[in-house]
Amino acid sequence: MTSTMTLGFIGLGVMGGPMAGHLAAAGHTVKAYNRTIRRADAWLAEQQSKGHEVSITATPALAARDADIVFACVGNDEDLHEIALGENGALDAMTAGTLFVDHTTISAKKAREIDQQARQRGLQAVDAPVSGGQAGAENGALAIMCGGTQEAVDCARPVMDSYASRIVHVGDAGAGQTAKMANQMCIAGVLGGLSEAIRLASAAGLDMDKTYEAISGGAAQSWQMNNRWPTMAADEFDFGFAIDWMRKDLGYALEEARQLGLSTPVTALVDQFYAEVQGTGGGRMDTSALISRLPKGGRT
């Protein structure tokens, strides 16, 4: 257990809210900022009901001022730029020698820019995107892939332990984001195959529970299969990670691949399948809703 600190946390969404809550539960003083006041007030009330030492600030700068470490978990490159470098941004308010940890999934280019801007101000930075979804955040069981110096990651690690089951230092600034791109590409490919497999089993009249039991113990097993097979088969898609966000992440991955001169046809194809679901109004459904674009079929 690390000694208690004063922490800033910017972004109290479905991921950031639980993560900031775990930091407060660990005994840290948490000063939080969220763009949507209603969500910030709800988070504050919940944390205060548990006796946690928390407060809500009016700007990212106020959340960052006098904090030992500042965390961020917002939406995309533009959101991160605004809260970190915009008017009343966090970096200019931070004390030299302190640490900025970004859990947003962004481009590797933006992560490297944030690192450079932090260094110019005498700060340290870690790009630390997460995997595990809303359930992982709520249960304190996220996987975190980190980019930055060893010193910065070592500083962040004992604090991030409060909501992580795995923390891996992948490499220099931007490396965490590139690893997250690989993570999202894997998920997209698995869900593409899983969608077709479920439709095949259902159309053939197989018992879906027994089919899952038969194949989930072998080489086909995956987190997506274990957690989404029953719900995909039942056309239930009300879970934590929306297709809109997956398309944002895959866009970063596809752009990074282009910059590296790589061909990524499977990722590009699944991204277009997700675009089809978005086009029918499914952008806020869970990524497992990829199956919804496939007709059910069946023997006649």
3-state secondary structure of 141: coil
- For position 299, what pLDDT does the model report? 62
CA torsion 29-34-38-42 (nearest 10°) is: -30
The answer for residues whose C-beta is within 8 angstroms of residue 88's C-beta and 6 or more apart is 59, 60, 61, 62
In the predicted model, what is the mean pLDDT of the chain?
A: 96
132: left (phi over 0), alpha (psi -120 to 50) or beta: left
Separation CA 267–CA 191 (nearest Å): 11
Q: Are strands 130-131 and 142-147 parallel, antiparallel or unpaired?
A: antiparallel
Q: Is the model's pLDDT at 300 over the cut of 60? A: no
- For position 1, what pLDDT does the model report? 45
- Residue 297 binned pLDDT confidence (cut-offs 50, 70, 90): confident
Per-residue pLDDT of 118-152, as tens digits, reads 999 999 999 999 999 899 999 999 999 999 999 99
The runs of H, that is alpha helices, within the chain are 16-25, 37-49, 60-64, 77-85, 108-120, 133-139, 150-160, 175-203, 208-215, 223-233, 243-259, 265-279
Strand partners, 10: 33, 72
Q: Is the model's pLDDT at 240 over the cut of 80? A: no
Separation CA 24–CA 263 (nearest Å): 44
Per-residue pLDDT of 189-224, as tens digits, reads 999 999 999 999 999 999 999 999 999 999 999 999
Domains of the chain in start order, with CATH, are 6-173 (3.40.50.720), 179-293 (1.10.1040.10)
Strand partners, 146: 169
296 is catalytic: no
Q: Is the model's pLDDT at 2 over the cut of 90? A: no
* Residues 238-260: b if buried by 16+ CB within 10 A, e if exposed: ebbbbbebbbbbbebbbebbeee
Q: Which of 31, 50, 109, 180 is catalytic?
A: 180
Say if CB 267 and CB 233 are below 8 A apart: no
Q: What is the mean pLDDT of residues 225-248?
A: 93
Per-residue pLDDT of 80-130, as tens digits, reads 999 999 999 999 999 999 999 999 999 999 999 999 999 999 999 999 999
Q: What is the pTM of this model?
A: 0.93
